[in-house]
Structure formats: C-alpha cells, structure tokens
Amino acid sequence: MQLVKGKRVVVPNIYHFALLAECSRLGKVVISVGSEENICSDQGRRDRGKVHTELQQIIGGFLMDKLGASN
C-alpha cells in the first residue's frame, strides 16, 4: 500500500486541548476544581465545537481529494 502525501495544516487560535472531545457540565466542574491544567477550558480562544467542525472539513476534504472517499 502506498502512503498518500499529506500537507501540514495549522488551525489558528486554538488551545492544545481543543482537539479533545467537549466536556460535560459535570466534567467541567470536576476538572476545574482538581486539575492544574483545565482540559475542559478553551482558555478564551476559539469554541471547541467550531474547531471540531473545521477539522472535520479539513480532514474530510483531504480524504475526498486523495483517497476518493465518499459518504
């Protein structure tokens, strides 16, 4: 199998943990109390759901273009 060459994509103005799933309300409370680094916070940057949508479009476009993937 031949690997498809990709390209580097930078998604601007996001916090590292924005790539993780969104936290529930309970998760936000529990993690904000007991953790030094709050993985549920987007640190005042872009909304995590919007980041996920953008990543889905980027990755989906790549797959459609390079692999001929379909829904």
Instruction: Please state the domain count of the chain.
Output: 1
Which helix (H) or strand (E) is 59 found in, with range?
helix 48-67
In the numeric block, the tokens 């994509």 are attached to 9
Q: Is residue 34 part of a domain?
A: yes
pLDDT, position 2:
64
Give the SS3 label for residue 69. Answer: coil
Query: In this model, does residue 1 exceed pLDDT 70?
Result: no
Q: Is residue 30 part of a domain?
A: yes
Q: How many CB atoms lie under 10 A from the CB of residue 14?
A: 19
Q: Is residue 4 part of a domain?
A: no
Distance of alpha carbon 62 from alpha carbon 39, whole angstroms: 28
- pTM beyond cutoff 0.85: no
Domain span at 21: 16-67
Residues 6+ apart with CB under 8 A from 19: 51, 55
